[in-house]
Each structure stands twice: as structure tokens, then as C-alpha cells.
Chain A
């Protein structure tokens, strides 16, 4: 248990569906991240939020829409996805001060399959 939870753990959706991924962290961190992990590729950073403000969008297609209502919650809204978007989506959080601020703690991920 890393203190970061993600729901759902598995999701199957059609290309015309709209769904949302949820992440919650109980570590008191102020930075949250979305990553995409595809088979045989390094983790790809998608979005970064610091104190609820988006500070990084790593050229992610607009069919992925993040939302961060507070420092503990992060959402990823999905619509009109493509089969190549199938992957493990990971949420992470980190502190924004102190010697541990470069260390990220990950949730268990949501395994997404787009049909």
C-alpha cells in the first residue's frame, strides 16, 4: 500500500465511450502526475499538477482531459479514444518541499483496453 489509490483497476471501453479515471493520494503531497505505460516502452509523463495547477502537458492529445479539484484528487477524463491508447495508466504523487521532493509514489494503475 503506497498511499495512492486508483479506480477503476480495469476498464474496457469502446471508441465512442466517455469514461473517467480517478486517483486519490493520502500522503499529504501537493504534486500529482499522470503517466502512460505501454508494453516495452518507458513510462511516458502525460500531465503534472502542482497545488491544483497544471504545470505540464506533455503534448497529450485532447481526447485525454485531466482535472485536479484539490491536491488529493486527480482525474483523467477519456473520450473518443483509439485502440492505441490501450495501456496501463499510472497516477503518482510527490511532496513539493524537503529532501524527498523528487521521489514519486505510484498508485496501482488502471489497465485500459480500447476496443
Chain B
């Protein structure tokens, strides 16, 4: 049983469209990280959210941590081909991370 469920598994959109990726769990986390990973490379940290209800913005990316600290979402506005990649969420408990299986995002030019 996976601790963190990400949806959708795959997402293909046209440049300029918006997209949202979800990360859900029945467990409470002390913090949650979002990473982006490109083929053949390691995950690169995008953001850490810590407080329930917290919203963080990183240019066109908006991250939200659920009030109960069990879920999170990543919203990309006006997606660009450079946003293509595997998006991973990871929940932290007792200083250990549990990862979701990832959402593969493809932005077509």
C-alpha cells in the first residue's frame, strides 16, 4: 500500500494551458516536498511546505498544503515546454520521506 497517492499519473497538455497535480494521503505529515525530475537526472527540489493551509508561489507554480497536512496540490499556470518532467511529492514524518509514484507532465509546444 502506497503512503502517498499522486494523480493523475500522466498529463499531456498544450503550451499555455493550466494544470494541477494532486498528492493525497491518509497520514499526517510534518512537511511536504515537491520535486521535479528530468530523465536520467535526480529529483530537484521545488518547494517545502510546512504549515497546514500554506500556499507558496514560485513564478508560475503554486503549491498548497492541505489544512490537515495530509494532502497537497501543485498548480502550473500557462505551462511551457520547459515544465515537462516527472513531478514527485514526498511527505516527511520522523525525518524520513515517503514518495509518491509521480506525475509525468508533458507540455507540447
Spell out A's residues near B (CB within 8 Å): 2, 4, 6, 31, 40-43, 45, 48, 56, 88, 90, 92, 94, 99-109, 111
Contact A108 B42, CB 8 Å, known A42-B100, A42-B101, A102-B31: yes
Q: Which residues of A contact B43 (CB under 8 A)?
A: 43, 90, 106
**0/1 interface trace, chain B 91-108, chain A, CB 8 Å (1 if under):** 010011111111000000
Q: Are B44 and A2 in contact (CB under 8 A)?
A: yes
Enumerate B35-84 residues with CB–CB distance to A below 8 Å. 35, 40-45, 48, 50
Spell out B's residues near A (CB within 8 Å): 2, 4, 30-31, 33, 35, 40-45, 48, 50, 88, 90, 92, 95-102
Q: Are B40 and A111 in contact (CB under 8 A)?
A: yes
Q: Which residues of A contact B101 (CB under 8 A)?
A: 40-42
Nearest 7 A-B pairs (CB), nearest first?
A: A106-B42, A102-B92, A43-B99, A42-B99, A109-B42, A108-B42, A102-B31
18 A-B pairs with C-beta separation under 8 A: A2-B44, A42-B99, A42-B100, A42-B101, A42-B102, A43-B88, A43-B90, A45-B97, A90-B42, A99-B50, A102-B30, A102-B33, A102-B97, A103-B33, A103-B48, A104-B33, A106-B44, A111-B40
B14 to chain A, nearest CB (A): 25
B34 to chain A, nearest CB (A): 11
Contact A102 B48, CB 8 Å, known A41-B101, A42-B101, A42-B102: yes
